[in-house]
Amino acid sequence: MAAVRRAKFRVGQVVRHRIYPFRGVVFDIDPTFSNTEEWWQSIPEEVRPLKDQPFYHLLAENAETEYIAYVSEQNLLPDGSGTPLRHPQIGEMFVVGEDGDYRPLFLQHPH
């Protein structure tokens, strides 16, 4: 059995893509690739990631639009810009703290 890799990023963390100009907040993590073979094959071979690594679901955005992205760990970097995200679904999944952190709603304690 293969060793389980720990995810480098966490739910609520803001990350950016290593190659493409977009960033987003992690809202779910798959321990290994869990999308369709067709999706994987659609990635150009020279940048196609390995399947046996964590993959992240992001509320992503670029200069033009907001969307959902599915990105391999090898293609993500922490985003230290501190710039707030504008994705319209953030409020459905996160509470934005005074420090700018994105805290998952499912972890919030009632007052």
Question: What gap in Å lies between CA 96 and CA 82, rounded to an integer?
Answer: 12
Q: What value does the mean pLDDT take over residues 29-54?
A: 93
Mean pLDDT of the chain: 90
Q: Name the strand (E) or helix (H) holding 90.
A: helix 90-93
pLDDT at 6: 85
Would you give the distance in Å from CA 5 to the centre of its chain?
A: 17
From 4-18, 28-42, 97-111, the region with the lowest mean pLDDT: 97-111
Question: What gap in Å lies between CA 53 and CA 7, rounded to an integer?
Answer: 8
Predicted structure pTM score: 0.89
